[in-house]
Amino acid sequence: MVGSNDFYEQDLLIPNAVANVEYSVKGKSGKAVGFVQLDHTRSNTILPSIAKGWYRYRGFDGETPILAQVRTTPKGKQIGWVYDPSANKISKLLSAKLGTDSVLNTDNGALRVQPSKLIYEYRPLESYGIMGSVAKAFVGNPITRTYHAVATWEGSQSSGILEWVQID
């Protein structure tokens, strides 16, 4: 378990694994090889009571897979971790500066993440129209931005995906 308290828990079940995928999209099919990560989160409360945001980096392209997550609590505290594949362990977040040049300081070193290109922005409440304003009381107003990014951890570099969720 990488995070636990009264109302929110998270397990990192598979930090990284090779995936052989067969797909079919709009009548076209193919095969691909890549990496996957599997985690499981649980909560017994509404989203705005859990976090003001999440910052997740998944980097599988490079010397070493690098995974990281920071949750900013409603009171602004940052709780998170970086998965250290060389030691097969979770390094606990001590502090973080999140932005266009993020630094996550852990008990086992520092991770630097630099987003390069915005891939996608998702604003779910806008897509639900009037129902979105009703849902806002329960889920806040989340905006998810997904970027191409590069991370450096203890001299190893990877490229991957940065997902940054900010909740108003």
For residues 63-94, b (16+ Cβ closer than 10 Å) or e, as one string? ebbbbbbbbbeeeeebbbbbbbbeeeebbebe
Q: In the structure encoding, which two tokens stand for residue 113, read together? A: 């993440």
- What's the pLDDT tens digit per position in 109-168? 899 999 999 999 988 777 777 777 777 766 677 889 999 999 998 888 889 999 998 887
Would you give the DSSP letter of residue 23? E
The whole-model pTM stands at 0.80
Identify the burial level of 140 via C-beta atoms within 10 angstroms of its C-beta, where 0-12 means exposed, 13-18 middle and 19 or more buried. Answer: buried
- Please, are residues 90 and 84 in contact by the beta-carbon 8 Å criterion? yes
- What's the pLDDT tens digit per position in 59-111? 888 777 888 999 998 899 999 999 877 777 888 999 999 988 999 999 888 99
